[in-house]
Amino acid sequence: MQILITGGTGKLGKELVKLFPGAITPGRNELDITDRKSVFDYVKSRRPDIVIHTAAFTDVARSEAEPEAAWKTNVTGTENLVDACIANAPGARFVYISTACVFDGVKGMFTESDLPHPKNFYSLTKLLGEFVVKKLPMHIIVRTNFVAKEPWPYPRAFTDRYGTYLFAEDVARGIKEVLDEKLVGTVHVTGDTKMPMFELAKMTTPDVKPMTLKDYSGPALTVDMSLGTEKWRKYKISKP
């Protein structure tokens, strides 16, 4: 079975490569998802049975400052991959990694049937990617919220933003299990515990400092990113 993982050097991609050691994980020099001809040629030559699409433009602030770049990767890049599969690997199962931030972040514990309402341009591009992926009959849209199991990359973390967070390795395991169960459609791969971002940060960085949204200036953020699920099981976040 031929498995293609985009974004194989990213936080989630690295964990997926461990679980799918025989997967194809092209770098950007081999597969530039924003180059339509390159994508079509690559998919035609490989004809994958499964595509796990993790490559994305994820920086919220940069997405506001560079909307064309975010769109080119998250929307056009996804469309290129989907169309290439329709043309050259129509039976492929296509896993698209989406985000809890497609929701407005008001009530929290969003399930697969809740209405998306993005708060910023990054979240909008990820939601539009979901609609693109639905052109494929064997699509799996995985909404999740994760960080790498490594030191917190900032000096502070929010005490008043929440999520049902997982580490990247937990999400990778969840994706594999969703594939093993041959699910189709939208699935939330989520933690079983809602916690502030500050609590998550302390798990790997005990000396991280607290902050609140009052200390923040920048694009609108999804405040409550917690996810529930009507279709799948929840996961316990692994130990650092």
- Contacts (Cβ under 8 Å, ≥6 apart) of 172: 12, 15, 16, 18, 19
Residue type, 209: K
Identity of the residue numbered 23: A
Is 122 a catalytic site residue?
yes
Q: Residue 227: helix, strand or coil by DSSP?
A: strand
Question: Which amino acid appears at position 161 of this protein?
Answer: R
Which residue shows structure tokens 């910023």? 120
- Strand residues in 18-138 grouped as ranges (E): 50-53, 93-99
CA–CA distance, 30 with 9 (Å, rounded to integer)? 13
Q: How many helices (H) and strands (E) does the chain have?
A: 8, 11
Render 216-228 in DSSP notation, one character per residue: --SS---SB--B-
Closest CA to 29 of 38, 40, 21, 41: 38
Catalytic, out of 122, 162, 165, 235: 122
**Positions marked catalytic:** 122
